[in-house]
């Protein structure tokens, strides 16, 4: 149990702290008062007050965090502008988030997701600079008999150049691009002798295991890869190339994740792969067993996911606030308090529904629940 819990807590502490610090940084930059900086929800475990009066604290429920601004009614930065103007004097009004110019409020809210993307960028940059990046060409060593690859025309010794338009820079990219594909056919661009060919492969979807032993519905095409002439090309990158490849990885993970989520919404991708805190805890413990480098790499991907999810236009998330600000820009005034309250209720319902769904998937993944019943302990 502790093998999962401790890595999960470490993971959440870092990515949530970075996210909330993004909000905090821009808030302080624009003179907004911050009353609370919390990692977790619920009852406080411990905390302290800094010189500016901000309460820094860690709470019992490690499922997120928040930065509460001066004058907010709750942790979701809700505030009644008319009541605030009457309640505070002119000096205190300067510290109120709700009275700041629109562009400052946008930057303060966007600062959280931005910090998550920057954390991932720094992690990838550091790995590519100090550990290195693999550039071993992806050569097909074997095409399995009667496999989708054979039917689609892939052959032994083909060098895979692109998958679905994504450049294959390393043998490590192939499984990643196949896994993240959502269309019925996967486009393979290969080099065969001196020719470049574009082939369409329809993958099989089979129940398999990932590298950590977790059961997943996996897209397979039936090929085995190897290094050309058994030569591994793993090199440390200079700063310019490292930042380029780090930015490319952040961009690819972000866009492919959005594409995959869109495919799930329209029924083209497996929704059982959508997990919540329980699955993250399980995987973080499994990955931690492979060492610090694997764990830090996972932290980068989780940080990107946290940034993306928070940008969804759902009230109660950062994206919901940005949606309100877009309405404010178009209308020339903020949405009424009643309208915002209505949106927040919808957002709460959506988030609770999503939490129930992901928890069900997590329990099913652990073997604690099936589609038809809960597995409860019984007496012998």
d(C-alpha 37, C-alpha 346), whole Å: 26
Question: What are residue 75's phi and psi, to 5 degrees?
Answer: -75, -5
Structure-derived torsion over alpha carbons of residues 18, 20, 25, 31, reported in degrees to the nearest 10: -170
Spatial separation of the C-alpha atoms in residues 206 and 34, rounded to whole Å:
51
Task: Name all contacts of 262-265 with Cβ < 8 Å and 24+ positions apart.
Answer: 263/182
User: In the numeric block, which tokens belong to residue 21?
Assistant: 């610090």
231 catalytic, yes or no? no
CA–CA distance, 89 with 91 (Å, rounded to integer): 6
Q: Is the dihedral of CA 308, 311, 313, 315 positive or negative?
A: positive
Choosing from 20, 82, 289, 341, the catalytic residue is 20
Which residue's structure tokens are 């308090």?
Answer: 337
Phi-psi category of 147—alpha, beta or left, where left has phi over 0 and alpha has psi -120 to 50? beta
Dist CA 91 CA 119 (whole Å)? 35
State the catalytic residues.
20
């Amino acid at each position: 149990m502790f093998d999962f819990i401790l890595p999960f807590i470490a993971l959440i502490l870092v990515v949530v702290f970075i996210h909330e610090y993004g909000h905090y940084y821009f808030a302080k930059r624009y003179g907004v008062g911050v009353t609370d900086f919390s990692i977790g929800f619920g009852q406080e475990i411990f905390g302290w007050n800094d010189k500016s009066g901000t309460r820094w604290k860690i709470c019992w429920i490690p499922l997120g965090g928040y930065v509460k601004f001066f004058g907010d009614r709750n942790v979701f930065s809700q505030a009644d502008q008319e009541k605030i103007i009457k309640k505070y004097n002119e000096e205190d009004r300067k510290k109120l988030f709700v009275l700041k110019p629109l562009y400052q409020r946008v930057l303060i809210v966007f600062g959280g997701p931005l910090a998550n993307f920057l954390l991932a960028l720094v992690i990838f940059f550091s790995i590519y600079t100090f550990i290195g990046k693999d550039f071993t060409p992806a050569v097909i060593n074997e095409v399995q008999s009667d496999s989708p690859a054979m039917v689609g025309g892939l052959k032994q010794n083909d060098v895979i150049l692109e998958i679905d338009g994504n450049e294959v820079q390393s043998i490590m990219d192939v499984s990643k691009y196949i896994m993240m594909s959502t269309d019925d056919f996967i486009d393979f661009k290969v080099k065969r002798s001196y020719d470049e060919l574009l082939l369409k492969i329809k993958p099989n979807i089979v129940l398999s295991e990932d590298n950590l032993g977790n059961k997943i519905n996996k897209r397979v095409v039936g090929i085995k890869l190897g290094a050309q002439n058994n030569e591994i090309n793993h090199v440390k990158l200079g700063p310019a190339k490292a930042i380029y490849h780090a930015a490319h990885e952040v961009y690819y993970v972000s866009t492919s994740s959005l594409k995959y989520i869109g495919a799930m919404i329209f029924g083209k991708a497996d929704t059982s792969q959508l997990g919540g805190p329980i699955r993250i805890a399980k995987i973080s413990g499994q990955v931690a067993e492979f060492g610090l480098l694997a764990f830090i790499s996972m932290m980068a991907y989780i940080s990107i996911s946290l940034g993306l999810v928070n940008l969804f236009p759902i009230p109660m998330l950062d994206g919901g606030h940005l949606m309100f600000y877009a309405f404010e820009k178009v209308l020339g005034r903020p949405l009424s308090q009643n309208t915002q309250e209505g949106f927040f209720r919808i957002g709460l319902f959506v988030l609770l529904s999503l939490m129930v769904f992901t928890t069900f998937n997590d329990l099913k993944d652990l073997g604690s629940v099936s589609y038809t019943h809960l597995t409860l302990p019984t007496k012998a």
